[in-house]
Amino acid sequence: MDALNLLRQSPVMPVIVVNDAAVAVDLARALVAGGIRTLEITLRTKAALAAMRRIRDEVPDALVGAGTVRTRAHLEAALDAGAQFGLSPGLTPELAAAARASGVPFIPGVATASEAMRAQDEGFDILKLFPAEAVGGIKLLKALAGPLPELRFCPTGGIDASNAANYLALPNVLAVGGSWLTPEAALAAQDWAKITALAKEACALAVR
């Protein structure tokens, strides 16, 4: 599966911070039950890699990937843990080379037209606009569509249930990323029904 088809699996990719790998499987099952298959586990906690491995082993309907991939070592560790794709807040030449060699879909982050063009030069035409709201959000994506019509985006950063549909309505947006599907209170309470309900609502945001 390439990055294009990956982002077509679900309109929203939850940005998940896992502090306890023991809840990873139940969390993934709750999201999948609500129609969300692509799960980004951020490499921001010690539990992230173990969480990825558990989801990969026990939730076959999920597509689990690593977020906040900043180095070749990050990507290699994530792949060893079973990650099926990767996302980064940015892109460096070394990371680009590692991502190309990995054989898995990789979505680098950009915040400007120049960064998008450099990412395209490195072989990436599916990009993560980050931090979306802070750098111009919908207005920037509309502006980029003119000179860079072949690029597609997964904007992340400041996106929630109140504005996600507006992003998804843009022709150059394939999906959005956000943390609102896995609120801390629901994770702490292990309220999987709540997370499934949020996932169903997120799926209903898709306009095409």
Instruction: Note the helical H segments in the chain.
Output: 3-7, 24-33, 48-58, 72-80, 93-102, 113-121, 132-135, 137-145, 164-168, 184-189, 192-203
Cβ 125 vs Cβ 149: under 8 Å = no
**Torsion from C-alpha of 205, 185, 79, 61, nearest 10 degrees:** -50
Looking at the annotation, which residues are catalytic?
40, 128
User: Which letter does DSSP use for residue 21 in this model?
Assistant: G
